[in-house]
Structure 1
Amino acid sequence: MIRVYRSGCSHCDAVVAEPSDWALPQDAIWIDLVDPTPEEDKAVEVALSLSIPTRAEMAELEASSRLYREGGATYVTADIIHNGDGDMPSVDPVTFVVTQGPLVTIRYFDPKPFAILADRIERDPELCSSGADMFLHLMEAIIDRASDILSINAARVEGISNHVFAEGKTVGFQRLIGKLGRAHIVNTRIEQSLAGLARVFAYVSLDERIEHVPDARDHLRSLSGDAASLLQHNQSVAAGINFQLSAALGLINIDQSSIVKVFSVATTCLMPPTLIGAIYGMNFDHMPELRWIDGYPLAILAMVISGIAPLLWFRRKGWL
């Protein structure tokens, strides 16, 4: 689909006609290609005299494929995090093409920042007056959304921390480790997105449509600072996840050691009574204690004493 935002308009125009019949409006400031067909790609290429990267090209990771200039336009591709309200957000590439005319975006999914910016434009049609201006406002929405997702993940990690170190509770460590694993994956994806955005900001800062416009240059510098601060926050969350994972594993080892200690103590305490019982269970003719009147209670008493003595010894040594 080709969606066109025009200067001063509070809504977008969706191209429903044949792409071959489409003509670029003179006042267009943003062309949003959503899951475009080859015919729609071709129509935009002809209208703007530039090339549109394919989905396979957008997925390439080398810098030369993600950040480059061609035909007077600046091409940048960033991994944008989406589905942030779900348990496992995803990241997918979006390509932004800053031209002398409208901004061109190519995407194959529907991240929330695009809808947020569309709502802002509907409320304030004069918000953006050029393609470069639209690019900056879109990046601002993306950074804000990344901040929201980071806050959600940080709150989840804090909740897990309160559970891990809760006193007087039976902690299900298996579930907690699973939650920490998912939080770590989200943390990694947020860092992937923010690091890519930081590279995009550094590269776009050299574009003459931003470099030579003081307001745009200051706006981009502010966005770069926001991305850097979010990266630092995300790294602190990652450190918290690693600490809690180590703590959970340590507590698991402590629990397992306690269980083994109980069995070890029980085995040690039962060995002397077992030995005594085994001796007096032997049917020897020359065992005088078998004919004593007090032989049986004395044997029971010896078993009890031999079982309690190791417990007292362990407690004195501080092993219990």
Structure 2
Amino acid sequence: MIRVYRSGCTTCEPSTVDPADWILPPDALWIDLVAPTREEDAAVEKALGLSVPTREEMAELEASSRVYRENGATYATADIITHGDAALPGIEPVTFVLTDGPLVTIRYTDPRPFSMLTEKLGREPALCTSGPDMFLNLMEVVIDRASDILSKNATRVEGIASHVFSGGKTVGFAKLITKLGQAQMATARIEQSLAGLLRIFAFIGVDERTHTDDARAHLHSLGRDADSLIAHNQSVAASINFQLSAALGLINIEQSSIIKIFSVAAVAFLPPTLIASIYGMNFRHMPELSQAWGYPAAVAAMVVSALLPLAWFKRKGWL
């Protein structure tokens, strides 16, 4: 689908014409390609005289494939976080193309920042007057959304910490460790997205289209925000690692306590078992078997032999 934001409009309107008949509006500021077909790619390529990367090309991780210049246009691909409200957010590549005319974006998903920018433009139609303005404002909402996702993940991690260090038994720790694993994956994806954005800001900073004082100041502010978010994200990751180590340590402590109980019980019941085994052999010449006090004496001996080791363990402080 081809969506076009035009100067003075309040929304990014989807094109309803056949791609073969599509013509670039002269006042277009933003062309948003959402899961474009090959025909739609060809229509935009013909109108702007540039190539549109395929989904496979966008997914490449080499730096040279992520930021480059071609035919006078600047290409930058960033991993944008999707489904940010979920416990495990997703991440998808989005390509931004700065041209002498409109900004071009190519995406195969629907990250929240795009609708956020559309809503912002609906309130302030005069906010963007050029493609570079549109790019900078889009980057701003991308950073804002990343900050929101990071804050939610940090809050989620703090909630897990309250359970890990609640002082109760380790019942349910398997679920907590699963949540910690999801939070760790979320922090990794957040950092991947922010690091890619920093690389884009550095590359776009040398583009002649952003050489105005306002654009440079905006880019510098965005880079500073991304740096601070990365630092915060790393502190959240450190907290997750600490909680995971603590949870595993508490599980080991409880398991050791359980093993300790079984060990003490085995030692305590060993003498009574020995006595019972001896008197269960039923030899002919065992005088206690023919005496009336034989059975009570054997039972008493077993009880005393069990209590003596327990008393010894208690005195040594092993219980």
Distance 1:109 1:166 in 2: 40
Distance 1:77 1:94 in 2: 5
Identity %: 67
2:270 matched residue in structure 1: 271
Q: Which amino acid aligns with 2:162?
A: N
Distance 2:77 2:50 in 1: 16
Contact kept? 2:170, 2:251, Cα under 8 Å:
no
TM-score, normalising length from structure 2?
Answer: 0.96
Distance 1:276 1:134 in 2: 89
CA offsets 1:138-185 (integer angstroms, 9 cap, x no match): 001011111111111111111111111112456301111111111111
Q: Which amino acid aligns with 1:255?
A: E
Which 10-residue stretch deviates more, 276-285 or 139-148?
276-285
1:164 matched residue in structure 2: 164
Q: Secondary structure in 1 aligned to 2:106?
A: strand
Superposition deviation, residue 294 in structure 1: 3.6
1:152 matched residue in structure 2: 152
Q: Which amino acid aligns with 1:156?
A: R
1:312 matched residue in structure 2: 311
Superposition deviation, residue 304 in structure 1: 1.3
Superposition deviation, residue 296 in structure 1: 3.1
Q: Which amino acid aligns with 2:119?
A: D
2:223 matched residue in structure 1: 224
Q: Which amino acid aligns with 2:280?
A: G
Distance 2:313 2:196 in 1: 59
Q: Secondary structure in 2 aligned to 1:203?
A: helix
CA offsets 1:70-129 (integer angstroms, 9 cap, x no match): 122110000000111123211010000011111100001111100000001011100111
Contact kept? 2:83, 2:89, Cα under 8 Å:
yes
Distance 1:227 1:318 in 2: 55
Superposition deviation, residue 291 in structure 1: 4.3
Q: How does 1:16-31 map to 2 (within 5 A)?
A: 16-31=16-31
Distance 2:18 2:287 in 1: 112
1:6 matched residue in structure 2: 6
Contact kept? 2:76, 2:97, Cα under 8 Å:
yes
Q: Which amino acid aligns with 1:88?
A: L
The yes-or-no answer on 1:49 pairing with 2:40 is no
Distance 1:17 1:285 in 2: 109
Q: Secondary structure in 2 aligned to 1:126?
A: helix
Q: Which amino acid aligns with 1:247?
A: A
2:115 matched residue in structure 1: 115
1:284 matched residue in structure 2: 283
1:133 matched residue in structure 2: 133
Contact kept? 1:184, 1:241, Cα under 8 Å:
yes
Distance 1:257 1:7 in 2: 70
Distance 2:75 2:183 in 1: 32
Q: Secondary structure in 2 aligned to 1:10?
A: coil
Q: How does 1:169-180 map to 2 (within 5 A)?
A: 171-180=171-180
Superposition deviation, residue 234 in structure 1: 0.9
Q: Which amino acid aligns with 2:258?
A: I
Superposition deviation, residue 285 in structure 1: 3.4
Contact kept? 1:164, 1:171, Cα under 8 Å:
no
1:251 matched residue in structure 2: 250
CA offsets 1:173-223 (integer angstroms, 9 cap, x no match): 11111111111111111111111111111111111111x211110111111
Superposition deviation, residue 318 in structure 1: 2.2
1:262 matched residue in structure 2: 261
Q: Secondary structure in 2 aligned to 1:286?
A: coil
Q: How does 1:44-123 map to 2 (within 5 A)?
A: 44-123=44-123
Contact kept? 2:272, 2:305, Cα under 8 Å:
yes
Distance 2:13 2:174 in 1: 51
Number of residue pairs the alignment of both structures matches: 319
1:188 matched residue in structure 2: 188
TM-score, normalising length from structure 1?
Answer: 0.96
Superposition deviation, residue 273 in structure 1: 0.7
CA RMSD after TM alignment: 1.4
Gaps of 5+ in 2: none
Contact kept? 1:163, 1:171, Cα under 8 Å:
no
Contact kept? 1:7, 1:28, Cα under 8 Å:
yes
Distance 1:93 1:170 in 2: 40
Contact kept? 1:5, 1:11, Cα under 8 Å:
yes
Distance 1:305 1:296 in 2: 14
Q: Secondary structure in 1 aligned to 2:95?
A: strand
Q: Secondary structure in 2 aligned to 1:94?
A: strand
Q: Secondary structure in 2 aligned to 1:133?
A: helix
Gaps of 5+ in 1: none
Distance 2:284 2:51 in 1: 106
Distance 2:167 2:12 in 1: 56
